[in-house]
Chain A
Amino acid sequence: MSASTALRRRVLSFPFLLRVGLSAGVAVLVVFPFYRLILGSFQTGGPPERGALTLENYRATFHKSSDIITNTLLFAIGQTIVPLVIGVLLAWAVTRTDVPWRGVWEFSTLGLYFIPLLAAGTAWSILLGGRNGMLNELIRAVTPWDGFDVNSMAGMVFVQSLYLVPLVFLVVGASMRNVHPDYEHASRINGASPWATFRRITLGVSRPALLASAVLCFIIGLGSMEVPLLFGFPAREHVFTTDIYNALRVRFPPEHGRASATGVVLLAGAMVVLVLYLRSIRHSERYVTVAGKSGPETPVRLGRWRWVVFGLCSGFFFFTMVLPFAAVVVGSLLPYIGRPDTELLAQSSLENYRQLSDNPILWRSLKNSLILSLGAGFFVMVFGSLIAYCVVRFKSRWSRMIDYGGSLPLMIPAVVLATSLLYTYITLRLPGGFTLWGTLWIMGIAYAVWFLPVSIRQMTGPIVQLSVDLENASRISGAGSLATLARIVIPILRPALLGGVVLAFISFMREFTASVLLFRSGTEVISTVMYSFYSNGRLPFVAAISVGLWVASLILMLVLRFLLKARISF
């Protein structure tokens, strides 16, 4: 065999071509937009006409208001600490103690992830939104106190925190569940009290999970749009995300340069946190806990504290599920939001639902949401699976680079992601004069890029477990690489893949941050329609849509639970 045939065989081999394709995909979808974003932040003028190099955009970002930096940090830090405390407590109660109804608390806390933040935010706006908030009206009626305005920094942190708890709960809970009970027993036997054991052993072993969820919360806080827009905008408590929204969607003409400069600043902030995080987990192998025969699961006996912890758990359930749901249901039946006295309640009707069902934009947005969520969901899971497959099967520096590139969006605030895509595709013209800007495609790309890191992580586990001999057996039987992938690998991974599609679908149906920056008339999605009703003061309409989403989420949740319990692969 000559050298050139050998080279041709290598280049045309399946692993080589697969990696070329994935590299190209990651470059176009992830890396290139960031290059454009960073470049654009140093240029005058918007993307249509390329301007000269300048630092003016950065000056504008910082000049705007110094409060904005303080606010952004306050919000991001607040909504990191509060959910961390609540989430750790809940995770501990559910995984390590004998608090009654553990299954209920676990299910309902994880279920919170399903509830769109816009729907929950609407509920809190109905309850605590200024003087007219229903709960505030009640508080004023029976106490000398003035109530609590959710349209404030404290309100933003409060609402955002409640709905970040599931994330902390998921990450920390998984880690705590893996703490062998013997670690705690050994500590107690050696004289440490339950509290000292919790602090030094349970939390000590879970430190990487605590740090990871704190970093995730912080980056989400830097980049999420929902809560700052719902509650910060009216209160003039601006953060960088609302500033980007302002620059791109309120100002005319849009201030693209300033938006991208702000995006780069946010990105830099996230990177600083990430570097600190990576430094602190350098020795994560220290936390690898013993696997092996577990002793009989002996939960921490709480004694008389049992009912205190039970009260805390049910309180959380009440404030995140029961009360907000009641608020959107009541709000959706009323003509306006105000003091819930007999006069107002007497006017309740299904009028809001009737009007909404005649609204063509709502139906169009629902269709758009479904198309986008399913399409982007399938696409991103296939893309993520192929990357995971590459990383596991063709171990090389090249595969790792693809993995890093594809995982990049995890560390990037969502708003920066959307801004960079906007910046890239607003001028891009494909052959035939077709542009991506203003189509569902650009939103689908944004969703997919945003979810790509999750899809890679989700598929890596199942692929690692997939014995390479299953593939070897297929190759020996005469099937080629591609045939093996199609006939052996994909069918075996189907349950994991479909599970991922469901998770992506749920995440995309509730997506707001990127959508609100990228949508145009005709490409509205549910969340942007909700926000336009909200900003026009049509709170009862938003409440009615929220009820629909809430109920749909609960049904989806129960179906998933049933499927998982019945161990039916879906």
Chain B
Amino acid sequence: MDGLEKYFGPVAALTGVSFTIGTGEFVTLLGPSGCGKSTILRIVAGIEEPSRGAVTAGGEVVNDTEAGRMTPPETRDLSMVFQSYAVWPHMTVAKNVAFPLRYRKVPRRERAAMVDDALRAVRMDGFADRYPHQLSGGQQQRVAIARSIVARPGLLLLDEPLSNLDARLREDMRIELKRLQLELGLTMLYVTHDQAEALAMSDRILVMDHGRVLQEGTPEEVYRGPESLAAARFLGVKNTFGGTLAGPGTVEVLGRKLPARVVGEAATGGPVTVAIRPDGFVPASPGGSAIAGEIRLTEFLGQAYDHEIDVDGVTLIVRTAERLGDRGDAVTLGLAPSAAVAFAEPPEGEPGG
């Protein structure tokens, strides 16, 4: 994809998005709803037309607005799992799954076996003669996945396929999807707003906001080294404060000088926004640069505790393995190594400037 742009009327849904996907790669578009990630998927599928830009698949140009070229979806060797599943209600499970085979010119006698294989892969064998209305949401979703993999498409598009499932099923399916991708060697373009899904499954993540790609990299790179405030926020940073750059690698925030990695061009003494993950804090003894505060609220999450801590009128969200104390208790906290990142952006500024 190159220089993709999409306008709905005067509203720009995508501006200058470019990326490539390698064979067998699992690429995720991660971003809040309305950031344009689904639009990209629909453009790749050929059911939406870009306002400007080109899409190339395996050396063949399938979209090129300059040349006025747009090949119809049925000629692109891909499949898609829709957020709504789009399992056709008037066909049985087997007929739904067999549908792509018919149009991908698979000989009739081979189809039944391939349908069986696909259904077995999503653990839905035995449901072949059911109708969609007899299935639960999770089962329908598996049928949708079976249908999308049965013909071994060159590219599999997934549009928030797990968002309608309950938490338990979502985790199971996440593992199933990754297993299928590895076993079948599928190339996948995955869209989600759930950072956990993106981090767990992807080879590469594109963080998106407001119709543009903010950052691109492996899950570890993106998680550990956010390049913008918006990307940091989206990847789970909950604490952001306005501060000033005190010197190279040091910021002044909450009245204390703290070490921080600085992203972007900021002048010494100039304003920065400091971002710290909830798990970037450790209990510390008072004094020095330690942060003193008072516990307002404690939430037990299972493997960890979340605390809301009041520090001179500013609220910190702190996650620790052990309980720090009860409501009203005073605590002192230090920073974990390289936990703070300072961005040369105003706290509520638009991402990317």
Contact = CB atoms under 8 A, between A and B. Distances in A.
Contacts of A458: none
B99 A289 contact: no
A96 to B, nearest CB: 13
Nearest to A204: B90
Contact of A189 (B47, B91, B133): B47
Contact of A207 (B48, B84, B90, B131): B90
Nearest to A190: B100
A187 B83 CA distance: 15
B90 A286 contact: yes
B46 interface: yes
A569 B73 CA distance: 44
A193 B90 contact: no
Question: How large, as a class, is the contact surface on chain B?
Answer: 35 or more
A194 interface: yes
B88 A204 contact: yes
Contacts of B229: none
Interface in A183-237: 183, 185-194, 196, 201, 204-205, 207
A263 to B, nearest CB: 37
A283 B130 CA distance: 12
Contacts of B131: 283, 286
B151 A183 contact: no
B284 interface: no
B103 A185 contact: no
Report the 9 A-B pairs with minimum CB-CB distance, sorted nearest first.
A191-B103, A182-B86, A190-B100, A188-B73, A186-B86, A182-B82, A185-B47, A286-B131, A204-B90
21 contacts: A182-B82, A182-B83, A183-B86, A186-B80, A187-B88, A187-B99, A188-B74, A189-B47, A189-B74, A191-B74, A191-B151, A194-B72, A205-B90, A286-B90, A286-B132, A286-B133, A287-B89, A293-B83, A294-B84, A295-B83, A301-B49
Contact of A186 (B48, B82, B102, B164): B82
Nearest to B33: A293
Given A182-B82, A196-B103, A190 B88 contact: no
Contacts of B89: 205, 286-290
A285 interface: yes
Nearest to A290: B84
Interface in A287-305: 287-290, 292-296, 298, 301
Contacts, number: 101
A296 B47 CA distance: 10
A51 to B, nearest CB: 53
A205 B72 contact: no
Contacts of A298: 42, 47-48
Interface of A: 180, 182-183, 185-194, 196, 201, 204-205, 207, 283, 285-290, 292-296, 298, 301
Contacts of A188: 46-47, 72-74
Contacts of B86: 180, 182-183, 185-186, 290
A285 B130 CA distance: 12
Nearest to B160: A293
Interface in B95-111: 99-100, 102-104
A194 B76 CA distance: 14
Given A182-B84, A192-B99, A286-B90, 17 more contacts: A183-B88, A186-B82, A188-B47, A189-B78, A189-B157, A190-B74, A191-B103, A204-B88, A204-B90, A205-B90, A286-B89, A290-B85, A290-B89, A295-B83, A295-B84, A296-B42, A298-B42
Nearest to A185: B47
A385 B163 CA distance: 41
Contacts of A288: 89, 133
A249 to B, nearest CB: 47
B80 A192 contact: no
Interface in B12-41: 38-39
A374 to B, nearest CB: 43
- Count chain A CB atoms within 10 A of each CB in B8, B39, B103 and give the residue with the most: B103
B146 interface: no
A192 B133 contact: no
Given A180-B84, A185-B86, A205-B88, A295 B42 contact: yes
B344 interface: no
A301 B49 CA distance: 10
Residue with the greatest number of chain B CB neighbours at <10 A, chosen from A188, A194, A288: A188
Contacts of B133: 285-286, 288
B74 A186 contact: no
B90 A293 contact: no
Nearest to B100: A190
A43 to B, nearest CB: 48
A207 B88 CA distance: 13
A75 B184 CA distance: 58
Contacts of B99: 187, 190, 192
B244 interface: no
Nearest to A183: B86
Contacts of A183: 86, 88
